[in-house]
Structure 1
Amino acid sequence: MSPLQSALIVNAVVLATTLKADLGTKEVTGRRLRRPLFIAAAIVPLFVHTLYTKGPGLSVEVGGAAVGVLIGLIAVGLMRVHRDTAGRSVSTAGVVYAAFWIVIAVGRSVFSYGAAHWYGTRLATFFVRHGAALGDVSGIITNGLVIMAVVALLTRSAGLMMRARAMTPVSAPAAGGPQPAARRRA
């Protein structure tokens, strides 16, 4: 499978599962938060064959992870997390959230296509000039994109979990409201 095909598959899987899990109003459950772990466990071994521990490969992997964190944090910020009438933690995501993930997926796909068809020689020259072996260039690019996608999903789940847990429990008194006798100070 070519790096372009790999990138397109990863983009499609990430986009479809994220939109299915988040669009509309959905309860924040452990199962929903764990789903990206299973996706990562499936995607990474299929598409990441070598982790680079030095040089441009490591730089691209770390950069991909950093961009993935940023994408995940922005995505969490585009969701509303609140309690429904039954007191359950729920999130609501709409058109802006969907558009954000679509733009990210299309951007990664266009970059992958460009690396394969438009500027692959210049990209390879750049990586080789900075210490990468020519045979590692497509692996480096694939790793960066896959790591970015997986880290974005994991960050989105972690952020959603933290926002849901930070909400005031339904049974807690409202700020400034009456407090139980044991908590009152004389």
Structure 2
Amino acid sequence: MTTAQWLLNIGLLIFILATNLGTRPVTRRRLAMPLLLAAVAGVLLLANVPTRGNDVALDFIGGGAGVALGILAGVLMPVRRRADGAVTSTAGLPYALLWLLVIGGRIAFAESANGWAAAGIRDFSISNAITGADAWTAAFVIMALSMVAARAVTTVIRCRVLPLSADSGAPVPVPAPTHGY
């Protein structure tokens, strides 16, 4: 991995943890920002996705893993409505550990692909018609972006089924905020 890739991964981990750990208000901006960032990153990082052999299948596997991990991240970040009607989310150690394992796993794979596991990954890629490093990179980018998107969507769904008030049992949509961002 290049220094830029290391910085990007570490920066992503710091951003995710800094913006989600603890109890935080759930706002439209907070839900939309990761989706917007994922869309921009997708446009920038996935301009030339390899499509030969089983590269597309690898991308779908990466996307499916990302969705599953994103749903898990959303479940590890419970939401609740306060007595004043505001919605909050709380993320703690399990949430942080999940992101650390996912981003750390991507870094470990990239580093081992250029080191001790290079021959095994090369042989696996050849026997499964995966065209090379660009295909693996695309699959991991798709996994990361789909994880971010699935976590945001999971949070939206969990907010929408919250009762209108802390005392009510009836699920209602989350009202639009009355104050600016």
2:18 to 17, 20, 33: 20
Matches of 2:119 and 2:98, distance apart in 1: 30
Taking structure 1 as reference, are residues 10 and 46 closer, same or farther at Cα in structure 2, changes over 3 Å only?
farther
Q: State the match for 2:55 in structure 1.
A: 57
Shift, 1:11, TM fit = 2.7
- Matched AA of 2:141: V
Matches of 2:166 and 2:38, distance apart in 1: 36
- The SS at the match of 1:91 is strand
| TM-score after normalising by structure 1 | 0.80
Task: Indicate the RMSD between aligned Cα atoms, in angstroms.
Answer: 2.2
Taking structure 1 as reference, are residues 132 and 103 closer, same or farther at Cα in structure 2, changes over 3 Å only?
closer
Task: Say how many residue pairs are matched.
Answer: 169
Shift, 1:132, TM fit = 4.2
Indicate the larger mover: 82-91 or 149-158: 82-91
2:29 to 28, 31, 40: 31
Does residue 154 of structure 1 match 2:170? no
Which structure has the highest helix share of the two? Answer: 1
8 Å Cα contact 2:70-2:148 kept in structure 1: yes
8 Å Cα contact 2:82-2:166 kept in structure 1: no
Matches within 5 A, 1:162-173: 162-170=157-165, 173=168
Taking structure 1 as reference, are residues 167 and 42 closer, same or farther at Cα in structure 2, changes over 3 Å only?
same
Q: Deviations for 1:118-173, whole angstroms, at most 9, x for unmatched residues?
A: 2223322332343344xxx1111101111111100000000000001110112985
Taking structure 1 as reference, are residues 102 and 131 closer, same or farther at Cα in structure 2, changes over 3 Å only?
closer
- Matched AA of 2:32: R
Q: State the match for 1:94 in structure 2.
A: 92
Matches of 1:145 and 1:121, distance apart in 2: 19
8 Å Cα contact 1:56-1:127 kept in structure 2: no
Q: State the match for 1:182 in structure 2.
A: none
Does residue 108 of structure 1 match 2:106? yes
Q: Tell me which structure has the larger Cα radius of gyration.
A: 1
Q: Deviations for 1:52-78, whole angstroms, at most 9, x for unmatched residues?
A: 445321111001001101111111111
- The SS at the match of 1:55 is coil
Q: State the match for 2:121 in structure 1.
A: 123
| TM-score after normalising by structure 2 | 0.82
Matches of 2:7 and 2:54, distance apart in 1: 24
- The share of aligned pairs that are identical, in percent, is 30
- Matched AA of 2:109: F
Matches of 1:122 and 1:141, distance apart in 2: 14
Matches of 1:171 and 1:75, distance apart in 2: 24
- The SS at the match of 1:117 is coil
| Structure 1 unaligned residues grouped into runs of 5+ | 176-186
